[in-house]
Structure 1
Amino acid sequence: MSTFLYKKRILGIGSIINTLLFGEAISFLSIFVHYENTRSTLSCFGYLVLGFIMMAFGTAIYIKGELGVGPLEGIMFCICDKFRLSVKYSRILIDFLIVFIGVVLGAPFGVGTFFAVFLLGPMIEFFLYLLDRLSGKLSIPITITDE
């Protein structure tokens, strides 16, 4: 709601899809992910890192698609504009506040939570930068001439 009031131009069909279907997609896909007690700590850590890389890269892709952003990314961009912060610092601030409220309400805190707070924002910013660089290098300038 705050994004709608502050920065309407970043809302679009992607915002609606993200808001309505993101949680449902996670619930559906969680059926296929089974935790086994036989996994080593190293493999679990590997899955954790891979998951965060995929999440940050996916977030950067759909932001660059310019079809609208989800609620968290909308708030992130509002904070970027309002306080003149980079994407990484505004996302760290948002994630920290969310985790702080969760912990105060009794939620557990672990390594994944730490990653979410301190690494997701910098990773999203890195992938946004990378996509900008790739799109700049791969695009062919088109000139229109009158003949």
Structure 2
Amino acid sequence: MIRRATEPQLTDLGPVVQLRAGRLPRRLTQLYAGLVLYGVSLALMVRSDLGLAPWDVLHSGFIRHVPITLGQAVILFSFLVLLLWFPLREVPGIGTVSNALVVGLAADATLALLDRPDAVGLRIGLLVAGVLLNGLATALYIGAQLGRGPRDGLMTGLARTTGRSLRLVRTALEVTVVVIGLLLGGALGVGTVLYALAIGPLTQWMLPSWLVRVDPSVVDRRA
């Protein structure tokens, strides 16, 4: 398929160039809306009690052994993953640091307001809503073009340095964190499988609608 020249494209800009790329109020609003909704989607899946996304299997297992909340675990692991960016020569942006903080805070706030329903039908509804909302949230924060999240940057950095495909690296990372999470007692279930199968297609479908066009004059610059 031939891409029309007028269609916005996903770019890989440095942290300073990201801020000079135009439409900053729109992009910041979209970024933070996406990150908040991402945290809400995480909480919906937790309250469904039907399984979590791969990284959240790890987070849920970890908090069984230390006195912190799930959201705090998300923040902690986000910054631990960011430490791995340095040898991979990945450069964080405002969206990267914001991702590390906002998602965990939003997840904890939602968990404080939402209880686990008893009815199976309601729990299934929470699971499906969580996965759908996660796809939208991912499209929003990626489409803002203000930097990858910590886990996304780890994936792309490993793919670049090892020469392996993004699909292979992502699969290897997610299998690894799920196994570690299970060993720690994390929550694995049908929701984990649903998330793994659905999140890629959902994000790919929604991203074009939320991909913000940046100033073409800065696309080829690096900060």
Q: 4+ residue stretches of structure 1 with deviation over 4 A?
A: none
Confirm whether residue 8 of structure 1 aligns to residue 90 of structure 2: yes
- Percent identity between the aligned chains? 29
Q: TM-score, normalised by structure 2?
A: 0.49
Sort the Cα spacing of 1:104 and 1:121 in 2 relative to 1 into closer, same or farther, 3 A.
farther
Q: Does 1:68 align with 2:147?
A: yes
* CA deviations over 1:80-115 (Å, ceiling 9, x no partner): 4441234xx644443222111111223232112222
Matching of residue 103 in structure 1 with residue 201 in structure 2: no
Contact 1:91 1:120 in 2 (8 A): no
SS of 1:15 mapped into structure 2? helix
Check 1:55–1:63 CA distance in 2 against 1; reply closer, same or farther (3 A cut). same
Q: Give 5+ residue unaligned stretches, structure 1.
A: 137-147
What is the letter of the counterpart of residue 44 of structure 1? R
1:18 aligns with 2:18: no
Larger radius of gyration: 1
**SS class of match (1:67):** coil
| Distance (whole Å) between structure 2 residues aligned to residue 135 and residue 97 of structure 1 | 33
What's the secondary structure of 1:47's corresponding residue?
A: helix
Structure 2's unaligned 5+ residue stretches are 1-82, 214-223
Q: How many residues align?
A: 131
Is 1:59 aligned to 2:141, yes or no?
A: no
Secondary structure at the aligned position of 1:66 is classed as coil
CA-based RMSD of the aligned residues comes to 2.9
Normalising by structure 1, we get a TM-score of: 0.70
- Give the whole-Å Cα distance in 2 for the aligned partners of 1:61 and 1:20: 17
Q: Which residue of 2 aligns with 1:139?
A: none
More helix by share: 1
Contact map agreement 1:92 1:120 (CA 8 A) in 2:
no
Contact 2:96 2:149 in 1 (8 A): yes
Structure with the bigger RCO (C-alpha within 8 Å, sep 6+) is 2
Question: What is the CA–CA distance in structure 1 between the aligned matches of 2:145 and 2:212, rounded to whole Å?
Answer: 14
* Farther-moved stretch of structure 1 (49-58 vs 90-99): 90-99
Q: CA deviation at 1:51?
A: 0.8
Displacement, 1:12?
A: 0.6
- Give how far 1:19 is off: 0.9
